[in-house]
Amino acid sequence: MLRDFSLQSMSMGLLAAFVGFASSFSVILQGLEGAGATHAQSASGLMALSIGMGLCGILIPIVTRVPVSVAWSTPGAALMATSAALPGGFSQAVGAFVISALLIILAGLVRPVGRAISAIPAPLANAMLAGVLLALCFAPVEAVKVSPLLALPIIVTFLAVSAFNRLMAVPAALLAFVAVLVFGVDIDEGAWSGVFRNAIAAPVWVTPHFSLQGAISLGIPLFIVTMASQNIPGVAILNINNYRPSAGRLFSITGLATLLSAPFGGHGINLAAITAAMCAGPDSHPDPKRRYWAAIVSGIGYIVLGLFSGLVVALVSLAPPILIEAVAGLALIGAFSGAVLGAFKEPEAREAAAITFLVAAAGVSFLGVSGAFWGLLAGLAVHGLKVWALRRQRARGEVAG
């Protein structure tokens, strides 16, 4: 195994860990706090997710010799950030995390469940995700309106770097955010000392509270967006690079990791897509049999970054909330554009996708259940009706088969 190690794989693994953490941790914090978490609970959740990701990212490649990359559920965090907090507070959200984890484990173990999720039309899953992300993607524009002197340097940095290197655009925007925080925001010295006192995060136990409302409003949508937007694309990336691991086993392992991290605030651990392409591609190593080291190194990087999640949360807490939302919005532009493209590229599914997108984007809850769930349900109803009508027409010979 050690003979397969290379500096090329190590450098790609470190880059994958940095990009994976820096490009979306602000979205994770927005999601956890949107679900009702305190700063301490958010730091604990970020740490639990990072360590869970790291352990899975180390153990799975060691056992399988496949460069399987693991990530947190960024779409799931965006869902939490844009949904109304559950009446039972963060403990009820944690109960929903547990339900989502159990469903993912079930999807990996029971083939019909996995097939049922795979059977959800991709345009509708993408439309739901795009609707969930829309509000957060407005945040950079809103930040310019509220505080142009603070927001514009972050946005200009993002646009300038993305013109040359898309993967480094969000980390560069994050560095610009830190510079704006240091030089543009009036923060007293006592607050800065508090940042370094809280550098190491402490685990915070949250006893899960289970409810039907939490399961329907958050647990099931979290399960669907994680499977449709992370796990299934993650397997596809591996297949593209000629790796064929057992998808069900990978789903169950990441679901188990989510289950263990949930009481500490971890909402979702799953297969990665973007960092999977980095670790499984030829830039990781010319020899496909040696690329798994990139995934192992990225797992180690996630654990180290997770241990210092208290520093991340303490630093972020000093900034105006609109700036955090702006960074999160910039981080999600790529995901939003990909989701929109996937939602509307098939002409026969556009109407159902549009309804899914509009209901999910409206963010209106009915009976205490989030708009994301109702959007998917409405889109499935329209899609099912169109399929039924088309079959009737074919049966009558009105259209060609």
In a domain, 167, yes or no: yes
In a domain, 245, yes or no: yes
Gap between the Cα atoms of 107 and 161, Å rounded: 39
Per-residue pLDDT of the chain (401 residues; tens, 9 = 90+): 778 888 778 877 887 787 778 777 888 988 999 899 998 899 899 999 999 999 999 999 999 999 998 999 988 888 888 777 888 899 999 999 999 999 999 888 887 765 666 677 878 877 877 887 787 788 889 889 988 888 899 999 999 988 888 767 877 887 888 888 778 766 666 555 655 666 667 889 999 999 998 898 899 989 988 887 788 777 767 876 788 888 888 999 999 999 999 999 999 999 986 677 778 877 778 888 888 898 999 999 999 888 887 777 776 667 777 777 787 678 768 768 878 888 898 888 889 999 989 988 887 766 545 566 778 788 889 988 988 888 887 777 765 55
CA distances from 248 to 104, 242, 244, 252, 255 (A): 9, 17, 11, 6, 10
| Domain residue limits at 128 | 2-337
In a domain, 222, yes or no: yes
This prediction's pTM: 0.71
In this prediction, residue 159 carries a pLDDT of 92
In this prediction, residue 175 carries a pLDDT of 84
In this prediction, residue 198 carries a pLDDT of 62
In a domain, 241, yes or no: yes
In a domain, 201, yes or no: yes
Rounded to a whole number of angstroms, the distance between the first and last alpha carbons of the chain is 54
Token pair for residue 239?
A: 């297949």
CB 343 within 8 A of CB 123: yes
Gap between the Cα atoms of 222 and 230, Å rounded: 11
In a domain, 53, yes or no: yes
Question: Nearest Cα to 93, choosing from 254, 264, 261, 219?
Answer: 219
In this prediction, residue 307 carries a pLDDT of 86
In this prediction, residue 190 carries a pLDDT of 59
Residue 317: what are its φ and ψ, rounded to 5°? Answer: -65, -15
In a domain, 387, yes or no: no
In this prediction, residue 117 carries a pLDDT of 60
Total number of domains in the chain: 1
In a domain, 132, yes or no: yes
Gap between the Cα atoms of 294 and 288, Å rounded: 11
